[in-house]
Amino acid sequence: MILDHAHDLKAFREAVRTWVRETAPPERSHEWQRAKGPELVAIQKWWMDERRKVGLATPHWPVEYGGAGLGLEHQIIMEDEFARGRSPGSEMFVISLNHVPATLIPHGTEEQKKTYLPAVAEGALWCQGFSEPGAGSDLAGLKCRAVLDGDHYVVNGQKIWSTNSMYASQCLLLVRTDPAAKKHAGITYLIMDMDTPGVEVRPIRKSTGASNFGEIFLTDVRIPVANRIGAENAGWMVSQSTLSSERGVLSFNYAERDMQFLLDWYSKSRHDKAAWLDDPELTREFVTLLGEMQSLRQQIRALLREPVDAPTWSMTPALVKVAKTTLNNRIHAFRIRAEGLSSQFVNTAWRAPMYEYLETFGMTISGGSNEIMRNLIAERGLGMPRG
Amino acid sequence: MNAVTQMVLDEAELITLRESIADVLASECDSRALHLWLDRDNDLGAALWRQAAELGWLGLALPEADGGLGLGARGLQILNAELGAVAAPGGFIPTLGVAQWLAKLAPEQSGSLLAAAVAGEAAFAVPAALEGAGALVSDGKAVSGSVEMLGCVPGAAKADYAVVPTTFGWTVVAVDGSAARLDSIDTWDLTRNLSRLELADAPVVATIADPEGSVGRLLGSYIALAVAADSLGAARAISLKTIAYMKERQQFDRPIASFQALRHRVADHMIKIATQDSLLEQAVRALDDGSPDAGMWARISKAGATEVFVFVAADCIQLHGGVGHTWEYDPHIYMKRARLNEALIANNRALRDGALAALDAALDAGRTTTELSA
């Protein structure tokens, strides 16, 4: 029904808007805004299922893998309307929706694509097993060992910072198959079912006290060779597709929601006659942050318009990554100062400033630390030599 | 909605236009020419003005009916960013800003003035502290008083006009050297022209009434946008010049560009500049689309862009090491331009206060957050 309007962007937008309002009315938004942990997983799975029913789970995927072959424009409209309708998020499915197709479509076997891609719309939750305690920014230094044994790899090692691994059904796993080769040349890419014997997930408690990522301990885990993506020892090349998958649509959704939030928060401050509004130093800082948030939205739109297969390396994703993560940190730091002492009382309100502020320290590290981003900008963007 | 301006040139043609402007400026206003100009050993200021008129730059943004190319705020952005990149001397910002404003508000009255401006024969000056300038006394026919103006290179145009706030609104007077006089003020930024306007019963050429203040705010928006574009073009240029220097300069047997502590600093220049570029983009689009929020975005953009320019220019002095502090190298030229830009129109605190007042008014008028962040 909604997809029938795909040829007419305006009508498509209207249809998505109406559907969001009916399916996840904004009056109920507090239900998904406050949920955490398993409750949040349940809500997001419900939302993904509702999306699936009307063809909006993976509409931008190719038709043969459960999509509708819609373009970026449709995806933007969809995310835009989700954000404006204050619908539940889908961040649990980041890996499932972005990294999995970006990896499987170019590198997977036909059987892997047919098995795993349509299952994403059915709610399959994937996690990523890339980082290790000794391999963070230096990802290629990973040591998790896989040894071929007949038609299986036997895997031993440890992964870390694996978001939602405690809820995931599958994992995109990087392992070392040739310890003698140069570090980039001995890595293999596997699909791991999380219920395989020998897989143990231990949630990591973050500075907020909550957990949404974990460590994965792997002890003699047997993974079929059929689950290998690409050739043995070609995993690093395959992983570059995974890492470049996030073309900003998700950032777009976040930025839309963050702008809504910032303006809503300001309106509420005015309604409550908050004391900070009488402090010109703070009100001016607010204007600066509002401007930068608006700028971020424009930057992400520009990023989305960049061709995915441009021949030259673009600095934009790295610039946006640093800009958005540091801006979020500054916005919540600002809210803490604006609110004063009461910001230090633990409360469970949605987007409590201290909670959000602590969360932002994860963002400046994950997805390539901001320091690595600055290296990329300097080396690849500005042609500065390595030290 | 000014749909016409959107269709004049497509994105690829705008890029070509930008490159053609950059090419001309790279050859006519390179570092050597600029340094000679600082010591007033060439006539770069007047030469650039003539060249800009000949190449049609002074009409880029103006409607086609006024002899322009119809590029609107986008045109102001493109031209001023390139002028800023080479720290071009001259009074482009006030002339271009006023022309755009006259074309928008009083196209019939100002036809001949605009034609003269496009031809480079008329230059406009505006109060340097545009939004702090008190109204000058006027009886509607003549105006008296004194105010500091941002104007053109003296003698570059045949005629200079001053636009000042009066008790009747916004008034244009012809600078005739007697009833209306512009006396140059020595400023640290040698690429701009500030002067004191002395008016003694100077005859009024034209007045635009401004009962609600919106007329003055629109002028402020155009000037703000031009200053922001100038600042960002300049910030990027001095940062790139500095990076080029860092690749050449050797210490400890290697280029200083290889030191991570320094590389991260210039990466931060790019991050800050990119952020402000997008904010300016927002202001440009809002102005061209006739959005009620255009003034708000333009003021936030001017405040942010000039602060980033100051930050980058200052950091570039330090990244150059000792030579950064010399007359011979370029960073000081940009730093001085940055500090003047920062002070133009109004201090950035006042601009942010104005932007917040605009936001409050919009929220009070019942505009939704969705509309505001469109």
Structure-token match 């050449």, residue found: B248
Report the residue from A280, A316, A378 with minimal CB separation from B264.
A378
Contacts with A378 from chain B: Cβ below 8 Å: 263-264, 266-267
* pLDDT for the residue numbered B374: 63
Task: Say what percent of chain A tops pLDDT 90.
Answer: 74
pLDDT average, residue stretch A298-304? 87
Query: Is the pTM of the predicted complex or chain greater than 0.90?
Result: yes
pLDDT in tens, A271-294: 999 999 999 999 999 999 999 999
The pLDDT of residue B281 is above 60: yes
Answer whether A294 touches B (CB < 8 Å): yes
Q: Among A284, A328, A372, A375, pick the best mutation site for testing chain B contact (most B Cβ within 10 A).
A: A284
Q: Which pLDDT band holds residue A350 (cuts at 50, 70, 90)?
A: confident
The pLDDT of residue B6 is above 60: no
Subunit contact A298:B282, Cβ cutoff 8 A: yes
Answer whether A84 touches B (CB < 8 Å): yes
Subunit contact B282:A295, Cβ cutoff 8 A: yes
Indicate the average pLDDT of chain B.
94
The pLDDT of residue B348 is above 50: yes
* More confidently predicted of B1 and B150: B150
Total length of chain A = 387
Subunit contact B260:A387, Cβ cutoff 8 A: yes
Q: Which of A354-358, B54-58, B132-136 has the lowest mean pLDDT?
A: B132-136
Question: Residue B272: closest CA among chain A residues belongs to which residue?
Answer: A323
Report the residue from A291, A319, A371 with minimal CB separation from B304.
A291
The pLDDT of residue A248 is above 80: no
* Beta carbons of A227 and A215 less than 8 angstroms apart: no
* pLDDT for the residue numbered A303: 86
* pLDDT for the residue numbered B4: 42
Report the residue from A286, A322, A379 with minimal CB separation from B271.
A322
Task: Say what percent of chain B tops pLDDT 70.
Answer: 97
Catalytic residue among A73, A91, A246, A292: A246
* pLDDT for the residue numbered A205: 96
The pLDDT of residue B7 is above 70: no
Domains and CATH numbers, chain A: 3-89 (1.10.540), 126-236 (2.40.110.10), 249-381 (1.20.140.10)
Q: How many CB pairs under 8 A join A and B?
A: 127
Domains and CATH numbers, chain B: 214-372 (1.20.140.10)
Per-residue CA distances from B158 to A384, B75, B147 (Å)? 48, 24, 22
Closest-CA distance of chain A to residue B36, Å: 30
Full DSSP string of B58-112: GGSSS-GGGTS---HHHHHHHHHHHHHHTT--S-HHHHHHHHHHHHHH-TTTTHH
Q: Which residues of B touch A (CB under 8 A)?
A: 243, 246-247, 254-255, 257-260, 263-264, 266-268, 270-271, 274-279, 281-282, 297, 300-301, 303-304, 349, 352-353, 355-356, 359-360, 363, 369-370, 372-373
Q: At what angle do helices B92-105 and B111-118 cross, to 10 degrees?
A: 150
The pLDDT of residue A103 is above 90: yes
- Does the complex come out with an ipTM higher than 0.90? yes
Residue A63: count of CB within 10 angstroms of its CB = 9
* pLDDT for the residue numbered A33: 84
Subunit contact A292:B304, Cβ cutoff 8 A: yes
Instruction: Identify whether A73 is a catalytic site residue.
Output: no
Report the residue from A266, A294, A384 with minimal CB separation from B279.
A294
pLDDT in tens, A186-213: 999 999 999 999 999 999 999 999 899 9
Report the residue from A296, A371, A377 with minimal CB separation from B270.
A377
Q: How far apart are CA A340 and CA A282, in angstroms?
A: 12
Q: How far apart are CA A108 and CA A95, in angstroms?
A: 16
Total length of chain B = 374
The pLDDT of residue B3 is above 50: no
Question: CB within 8 A of B32, min separation 6: which ones?
Answer: none
pLDDT in tens, B253-277: 999 999 999 999 999 999 999 999 9
pLDDT in tens, B32-66: 999 999 999 999 999 999 999 999 999 999 999 99
Task: Say how far residue B27 (Cα) sits from the centre of its chain.
Answer: 22
Q: Which pLDDT band holds residue A136 (cuts at 50, 70, 90)?
A: very high
pLDDT in tens, B166-206: 999 999 999 999 999 999 999 999 999 999 999 999 999 99
Burial bucket for residue A22 (CB in 10 Å: 0-12, 13-18, 19+) = exposed
Q: Which pLDDT band holds residue B369 (cuts at 50, 70, 90)?
A: low
The pLDDT of residue A306 is above 90: no
pLDDT average, residue stretch A65-73? 87
Three-state DSSP class for A13?
helix
Q: Which pLDDT band holds residue B5 (cuts at 50, 70, 90)?
A: very low
Indicate the average pLDDT of chain A.
93
Q: Which pLDDT band holds residue B107 (cuts at 50, 70, 90)?
A: confident
Contacts with A82 from chain B: Cβ below 8 Å: none
Q: Closest by alpha carbon to B87, among B23, B31, B128, B43?
A: B31
Subunit contact A283:B279, Cβ cutoff 8 A: no
Subunit contact A284:B247, Cβ cutoff 8 A: no
Question: Residue A256: closest CA among chain B residues belongs to which residue?
Answer: B373
Answer whether A314 touches B (CB < 8 Å): no
* Beta carbons of B55 and B83 less than 8 angstroms apart: no
The pLDDT of residue A323 is above 70: yes
Residues 265-284 of A with CB under 8 A from B: 266-267, 270, 280, 283-284
The pLDDT of residue B29 is above 90: yes
Contacts with B301 from chain A: Cβ below 8 Å: 291
* pLDDT for the residue numbered A246: 62
Report the residue from B254, B271, B281 with minimal CB separation from A298.
B281
pLDDT in tens, B142-162: 999 999 999 999 999 999 999
Closest-CA distance of chain A to residue B256, Å: 9
